[in-house]
Structure 1
Amino acid sequence: MPLICIASPKGGVGKTTLTAGLAFALQRLGLPVTVIDFDVQNALRLHFAIALGDPRGYVAHAEQPDWQSLVLQTPSGVGVLPYGTVSEAQRLRFEACLTETPALLEKALRGLLSTPQMVVLADTPPGPSPALNALNAIADIRIAVLLADAASASLLPQIEQGLFYSSKGARSPLPVIHIINQVDRRRRLSADATEFMRTRLRGSLLGLVHRDETLAEALASQQSIFSFDAGSAAAHELDAIARRLGRLLGSLKPRTSEMRRQG
C-alpha cells in the first residue's frame, strides 16, 4: 500500500515529531501504520516509547531482502523500523547501497507495502541525501515540511523547480505537497511568512500545524499527542491533515498488482 516520504530542505523544522504525529493520526482513522527512520540520529523511535538504549534497527541488517521481520511492534500499535545503533562504516555502506542499488529499497519494503491498507511513513534526514533520492523514486506521496519563517519561504523555488524532490524518475503521479509547521501567529514574521506561503502554495498546501508545547510534553511522557491531550490544537490539526491524506490515499492506484509484475 502507500509509501509516504516526509522530508525538508533544512533541519530544525520538527519533521520527526510531525511524522510521529501523522502516524498516530492515520492509525486513528483505522489504518495500519509503519514508520521508518532514515536519519542516523535515530530519534523517531523515541516517540513510540522505544528505550533510549535499545540498539535495534534495520540499517545493520539492510542486506536482508525483506525488512518486514525487522519491524518493532510498539505499545501504540504503530510498527517502527528504527535506524538503529550503527558504526560509521555501516552508515556509509548503507548510503552507498541506496545510491548504487536503486532497487534495494523497493525490494526491502515489498512485504510491508503488500500488506492490505498498510501506510508506510518514511522520515528522512534534512536536506538532500541518498535516502531521499531512493525514496523519491518509489514514494506514492511526497511531503515537504517547512517552517513559518523567511528561510523556509526562500527554499520554495528549489522545491517547485524539482531541485529538492527530483522531478526525474519520480514514481508519484502527484505533485509535492507541503505542511507548514510551528506556525506562531503572535509573531509578525511567522504570520507574514505563513500567509506568503499559503498564497504561493495554494492547492499543494496540505495543512498548518501551530506551535504547541503539548507536542513536546507528549514526547516527554512517552505518549501520543492524542493520548496525552486529544483536545489540543496540535491534535486537531494533525487529525485534519491525516484526513486530507486519507482522501489522497484513496485516490492512489494499489501497489500489489504492480509489485507482482516486478517480482
Structure 2
Amino acid sequence: MIVVAVVSAKGGVGKSTMAANLAVALSRHARAVLAVDLDPQNALHLHFGGQPQDIAGLSRASVGGTAWGEVVTRAASGVRVLPFGQINEVDLPTLERRIADDPHWLSTQLRSLDLPADAVVILDTPPGVSHTLRQALAVADRVISVVLADAASYATLPQIENLIRRHYGAKPGSVESVCIVNQVDATSRLSREALQLIEGVPGMRVLGRVRADRSVSEALAHGQTVVESAQDSVGRQDLLQCAEQVLQLLPAPGQQAPEATADAEAPVETQPEPTVVLGDEDRRPQGQAAPKSRKAGVYRLMAALLCAALVLLIVLWIRTR
C-alpha cells in the first residue's frame, strides 16, 4: 500500500478536486486506487457520482464499530471511494477524541482494508492543523500540497511546510516538499507574480500547474472528474500531467513502498527557518529573516492589489457623481 496525502493550509484551494482527479488519472495506469476522504466537509465522493444526501462513510463506521471495508464504494472510473460521510454533532466530538487519543488510529484502519502492496491510497485531508492531518502525514509515503496562484496561498506556504517537516513519517533521508499550483490565470498579472513567488520558495518543488478552467467545476456538477469528461479541456491536460509527475514519485508496481519511521510522531529535525506560528503545539523559534528578494516580491504583489483597489474606488466614485 502506497499512501499519498493531499494537503492544504486553508480551504477553498481545490484540494478535493485535485485528490479526485489524481485518483482517476492514476487508476488509468493499471494501479488499484482507493480515495479516502478524511475531511468532514465530505466533498470527495461528489466527484465520483455520490449524492449530497448519502450518509454512509468512515465517520459513522468508526463511531459505530463498523469495518471501513463495508462502506467502500466503487466509482464508474474504477476508483474505490471511502467517503467521510455525514455524522451528527453528538458523534463528531466522539470521533475527534478517538483520533486524538489513538495516534495510530488511521494506520490501523488502513491496514484493516488489506489492500494490495502496490495499491495507491489517496488521502483527502482536512485543511489546516488537526490530529487527523498529523496522522495522515505520519503514514504518508508522499505528501502533495495544493495552493492557489495568489498572495494568500504564498503566505501560508511556511505553515504547511513546517507541519510537513514536523510530522511527515516516510523514509528515506531528506523530505522534499512538493506542491501543485491550482487555478493559474495566465491573463492575470497578480496570478503570474504569485506563481513566480511560489516557484522561488527554497526547498519547494512545484510538481505541476493547473490552469483555471470552468470545465473542472462543470464536471463536478455531473458527478465526474474532468479527467473523465472534458477531453479537450486545458484543466484535464494539466491534471494528467500532474498525475504523470506523481506517478514518478511512487514505487513501480512490485517494488516495496518506503517504510514509516519507527517513531512516526517524533518531529523531524530541520534547520531553523522563517515560519508562521501555528499554535502552541507547533510553535518553534523563528530563524533569520526571509531573503530580501522574497520580501520585495510580496511587497510588489501587495502594491499591485492596493493599486487595483484604488482604481476601482475611483471608477465607482466617478460613476456615482
TM-score by length of 1: 0.89
- 2:121 aligned partner: 120
Is the aligned partner of 1:11 residue 2:11? yes
**CA drift at 1:218:** 0.8
Q: Deviations over 1:167-204 (max 9, x none)?
A: 24623534231111111111110011001111225762
Do the aligned partners of 1:112 and 1:118 also contact (CA within 8 Å) in 2?
no
Q: Which amino acid aligns with 2:256?
A: P
Cα separation, 1, equivalents of 2:132 and 2:144: 14
Q: Which amino acid aligns with 1:159?
A: I
- 1:30 aligned partner: 30
Is the aligned partner of 1:59 residue 2:62? no
- 2:166 aligned partner: 167
Cα separation, 2, equivalents of 1:197 and 1:242: 20
**CA drift at 1:112:** 3.9
Q: Is there any run of 5+ residues in structure 2 with no aligned partner, and where? A: 261-321
Q: Is there any run of 5+ residues in structure 1 with no aligned partner, and where? A: 259-263
Identical amino acids, percent of aligned pairs = 36
Higher radius of gyration, 1 or 2: 2
Aligned positions of 1:178-217 closer than 5 A? 178-200=179-201, 204-217=205-218
Distance 1:141 1:69, change over 3 A: same
**CA drift at 1:257:** 8.7
Q: Give the 3-state SS of the residue equivalent to 1:142 in structure 2.
A: strand
Cα separation, 1, equivalents of 2:226 and 2:23: 11
Cα separation, 1, equivalents of 2:76 and 2:181: 29
Instruction: Give the number of aligned pairs.
Output: 256
Q: Which amino acid aligns with 1:243?
A: E
Cα separation, 2, equivalents of 1:191 and 1:45: 32
**CA drift at 1:166:** 4.6
Q: Which amino acid aligns with 1:167?
A: R
Cα separation, 1, equivalents of 2:73 and 2:258: 23
Distance 1:198 1:217, change over 3 A: same
TM-score by length of 2: 0.74
Q: Give the 3-state SS of the residue equivalent to 2:250 in structure 1.
A: helix
Cα separation, 2, equivalents of 1:175 and 1:23: 21
**CA drift at 1:223:** 2.5
Cα separation, 2, equivalents of 1:186 and 1:172: 40
Cα separation, 1, equivalents of 2:202 and 2:121: 25
Point out which structure has higher relative CO (alpha carbons under 8 A, 6+ apart): 1
Do the aligned partners of 2:177 and 2:204 also contact (CA within 8 Å) in 1?
no
Cα separation, 2, equivalents of 1:172 and 1:114: 21
- 1:134 aligned partner: 135
